[in-house]
Amino acid sequence: MKEKITNQALRLLKKEGLKSFSMRKLAETLAIDPMTIYYYFKNKDQLLAELVDVVFRKFYEGLQLEETKAKEKEKLESVLIEYRSFFIQYIDLSLYLIQSPNEEYPAVKILNDLILDLIQASSPYEDPELTRDILVDFIHGNALSVSNKPRKRLKGRTKENQTEQFRESLTILFHRLFYNTRLT
């Protein structure tokens, strides 16, 4: 039942957004008593924390870093591109994470550590933690600008153009952070 609740909660969150999401609505969509949800989750925040864990597990399963012989910087770029897609796909949950920075989510810490490890292996020009923070903030800002209307699907061509623009911007940022140079 717990898995059924989390799966439906993800669907409802995607459909209605974080502001409209409630335990009561979730119970109604599942056709169960709201107290059933509270049996598994103490409150909405605990349910959202579980959703963070579920979606980040999906994210990590999608990464195939060990199988590639790419250089660390290429792996880092791959992780960042996947993270951007992930952030856009789960925009409301991502916004929840940004709005609750004091919370410690193990899945988020794993991502931050992975990015930091790849940065350190790539010899950044700046401090590795600062470089990580710049890159993560860049991802968040770009993803938010692309998904300012999260319920509206992007047309295929427009989405491809935005992804290509993102890659170009990421390349410029990489040159600045790793080589202290600017592309002209």
* CB-side neighbour CA atoms (13 Å) of 118: 22
Range of the domain at 136: 51-179
Note the pLDDT tens digit of each residue in 95-135.
Answer: 888 777 656 788 888 888 999 999 988 877 778 899 898 99
| Shared-domain flag, residues 34 and 67 | no
- In the block, which residue shows the tokens 């623009």? 165
pLDDT-wise least confident of 35-39, 140-144, 156-160? 156-160
| Shared-domain flag, residues 86 and 163 | yes
Q: How many separate domains does the chain show? A: 2
> What is the average pLDDT value for the chain, to the nearest integer?
82
- Mean of the pLDDT values across residues 21-35? 92
Give the C-alpha separation, 18 to 94, whole Å.
10
> Is the entire prediction scored with pTM above 0.85?
no
| Shared-domain flag, residues 100 and 128 | yes
pLDDT of residue 26: 94
